[in-house]
Every structure is written in structure tokens, then in C-alpha cells.
Structure 1
Amino acid sequence: MEEDNIIAEKKEKVGYIQVLRNHDFFALWLGNLISVLGNDFHFIALLWLVNQLTKSTLSIGIVVTCTFLPHIFFGLFAGVFVDMWNRKITMIICDIIRAILVLLIPILYYSGLLQIWNICVIVFLISFLNIFHESANRSIIPNLVRPEELVTANSISEVSFQLTNIIGSALAGILISIIGSVNIFFIDSFTYLFSALMIFTIRFIAIQRD
């Protein structure tokens, strides 16, 4: 009984630093952190760009709607498919495709071909891929950390996500004023590629459960 209490006490004392020393979890966490930061830049820059192109609040509303529609129609089903796929590969593919899609925005803009309809298509596809990436990300964490580290790992992910959203939104405005809204998408594309690289380094050795 005393030995069980000692083991239980050790499990409760799992710290943030200990979990972050886990290479696989750290790679996933860092990749997501940078990617979420890029997403915040992307969203603010997108609203700025649409307003700049159309001067229409209706157009902004349409773009925002296209961002959330995939979550409404596909959010409940993504987990079912992700469970049947290799989560690591799923996230890498989603990151690479999102990087390409985001890069299309400045390419189309500088080519004089960017319109509200192709912005909506790009935004919809990115949001669609976000669902599968997020689902794979949540479900892969238990395979990267030990059972006693899971609560701490989830806590790190959630707290980091919230803080990054706050910081990202603030930094987005500063960056837009310096390099312009269109060039923000080059940064966002890089963040997706960085995330893919980090996830690629994950060994994905499933933790043995008792």
C-alpha cells in the first residue's frame, strides 16, 4: 500500500519541464505553437486584405463564414477518419497542403488575379484541413507521453494555444503595418512547413500502457 502511494505521488509531480524534455512531444508542441502563431497572423491579415480589396463588410462576413463552415459540417466526423489513418502522416500532409494554399494568396494578388471567390475557396480548404490536423494532434498526444504525463501534456498544449492566440493577434497588427497584409501569408506558409518538419522528426513510438 505504501509503495502504491509513493508511485501515485510521483505521478502527481510530473512537471512541465519533464514533459517538454520528451523529444516527440516537444517537436509536436513547438510545431503547433509556431503554426498557431501563423494562423493568427493569417486570420488578421485576411480580414485586412479583404477590406482593402473590397471595402465591403459583406465580403468580410462571407470570408469569415467560409472559415467556420467546415467546422460545422465536418467537425464531428473528422475524428472517425483520423482514427483510421496514420496521424503523423495526416498532420504532415495537412501542413504541406495548407502551406501551398496560403502561398496562393500572395501569388494571386501580385498576379492581379486575387478575387473574393478564390479567397473563399482557399480559406474553406485551409479550414477543412485544420479540422483533420487538430483532430490528429489531439489523438496523437497519448502515444507520445506516458499516462502520468498526459494531464500535464494536455495542459501545456491548451495554455500555450491560448497565450499564442493572444500574442499572435497583437503581433499581427504590428507586422501588417511593417510588411503589409499580403506578405504576412509568406510567413504563415513558412509556419506550416516548420510544423511539418517538426512532426516529421517525431519517432512516434507508442507508449506502452499498463
Structure 2
Amino acid sequence: MKSVLKNRSFFFMWIGSAISELGGAFGTLCNSILVYELTGSEMALSSMWLLYFIPSLILQLISGPFIDKWSRKWIMICSQWIRASVFLLPLVMLVTGNIEVWHIYVVQIVVGLITPLYTPASQAITPSIVGKEQLQDANAYIDGMTRLMMFLAPVLGGVVIHLIGTELTLSFVCICLFVSGAFLFYIKENRTSQPIRKTWLEQFLHGFTYFFTKPIIVWLGIFLTFVQFGVGVTMVTNLPYIKDELSADMRNMVILWPDSHLAM
């Protein structure tokens, strides 16, 4: 069977998503370091993450039916370019010496609003660009790439920030996200007209009810809630611990903090 990577549309989506994951991880690392450098406050750092997760969770509840109506390709492209544009804010402010913590908060809010659009659109577009017989391989490639980037990107980000500094790293983030959107242009999306027969509320209630009819899914959701709570705590506490308790300077901090993600 022909490799799914020989499918031009899938290949460009896969590469674009990999670049996006890399740039996004580097951007998050820069934001966290900047917030803690500016404030020295664990509360400010946790607020940064809340400003990402709360808009993301709210939008996830309402975005699904609308993604089905719009072009998934253009949702993905616009999402990447909006993310790239918003990262220009802290970059410009940092270069001009006017960086403030609220600039980072704006980035987190916008990224939190964009992610619930990009992620489901990228998942939903896959069956429309690969054949049914290649769908399993395509999902495996996407999942493998995502996990690899989750593993490598924080470490690479720490090394890159150490070598070239935060300003150039933010420039790299913007370039990555713009390039990612450009790669997505090459996707040939096969759209079919699927008018929504039910209202958004009806679809939401149907999905909510279905969730609780599957005990395995419910227990998996409970388990993942506890896991994510633990991960969320470490996302906030690792950086202050390395800087304050281990007395690491910025050079060592950008190396030690990403390395702590590998231990998790």
C-alpha cells in the first residue's frame, strides 16, 4: 500500500502541524520565563496559565458545530497566522524595552481562543484528504509527531533560548507559525455540504448525554482530570522551584526547567 506521506495534502498538513507544535512550545516557554522575570510571582505565572485554559475550555463547548460549517483548511491557516501575529506583541515590546506582563496575558488569551478551533479542525480534515484505507496510518503519523514534539520541544526550546536569547526565540516562533500556515495552503480539502440539522444546543446536549452513557469514557475523564491537575501544578511550580530553591541563574534555568518535563 502506498505510504500516506506520499499524499501531498497530508504531507503538508503533517509538516505544518509539526512546525506549529515546535513554535507553540517555544512560545509558551518564552512567555513563562518572561512572566516570571517581570514579576517573580507564582500567582502571576498561574494567572498566565488560567488565562489560556479558561477561554480554551469555554470555546471548546461551543465551537464544534461551527467548525463543521466552515472550511477546516482556512480555520487552520487563519489560526496559525493569528497566533504568529499575536506573538509579535511581546517581541516588539521586548525589543523596544516596553515589555509588561499584560502583553503576555494577551497572547495567552488569544492562543487559548485559537487552540479549540485549530485542533478539532486539524482532526476533522484528515478523513477528507486521505483515503479510508490510509486513515489509521495518517492518525498514527499525526499522533506520533505530536508526542515527539511534546517530548523534544521543551528541551530544544531551553537550549535555543540559552543560545540565542528570548528575543530571537520569539522571532523564531513567529516565523514557525507563519510558515506552518503557508504549508497548509497546499492542502486540497474535499468539502461536502453538510447542513446542520440540529441547533447548537441540541448537539451539545446530545454529546453531553452520550458521554455519561459510556462508563469507560466517564472513568477515563475522571482519571485524566487528576492527571491534568498534577501536570498543571508542575507547570506553575517548576520554574519558581528551579530559580528560587535551586538558585539557578537564567542560563541554567532555561536548561533545567525543560529537562524537568522529561522526568514527568
Asked if these proteins are the same fold (TM beyond 0.5), I'd say: yes
Q: How does 1:84-123 map to 2 (within 5 A)?
A: 84-123=69-108
Q: CA deviation at 1:132?
A: 0.5
Of 48, 58, 64, the residue aligned with 1:63 is 48
Partner of 2:138: 153
1:187 aligns with 2:187: no
Question: In the alignment, is the contact (CA less than 8 A) between 2:20 and 2:180 conserved in 1?
Answer: yes
* TM superposition score normalised by structure 2: 0.69
**Aligned partner of residue 181 in structure 1, secondary structure:** helix
- When structure 1 is superposed on structure 2, of 191-200 and 178-187 the one drifting more is 178-187
Question: In the alignment, is the contact (CA less than 8 A) between 1:101 and 1:122 conserved in 2?
Answer: yes
**Aligned partner of residue 106 in structure 2, secondary structure:** helix
Partner of 1:43: 28
* In 2: Cα distance, 1:76 partner to 1:182 partner: 35
* In 1: Cα distance, 2:62 partner to 2:55 partner: 11
Question: In the alignment, is the contact (CA less than 8 A) between 1:78 and 1:135 conserved in 2?
Answer: no
Of 102, 108, 116, the residue aligned with 1:131 is 116
Q: CA deviation at 1:35?
A: 0.6
* In 1: Cα distance, 2:173 partner to 2:62 partner: 27
Partner of 1:72: 57
Q: CA deviation at 1:206?
A: 5.6
Q: CA deviation at 1:93?
A: 1.1
- When structure 1 is superposed on structure 2, of 170-179 and 197-206 the one drifting more is 197-206
Q: CA deviation at 1:156?
A: 0.8
Q: CA RMSD in A?
A: 1.5
Deviations 1:108-166 (A, max 9, x none): 12223322223212211112112101111010000000011111111110111001111
Question: In the alignment, is the contact (CA less than 8 A) between 2:89 and 2:103 conserved in 1?
Answer: no
* TM superposition score normalised by structure 1: 0.86
Q: CA deviation at 1:183?
A: 2.5
* In 1: Cα distance, 2:31 partner to 2:109 partner: 13
Identical pairs, percent: 28
More RCO (CA 8 Å, sep 6+): 1
In the alignment of these two chains, the number of paired residues is 192
1:25 aligns with 2:10: yes
Give the residue type in structure 2 aligned to 1:18: S
Q: CA deviation at 1:57?
A: 1.3
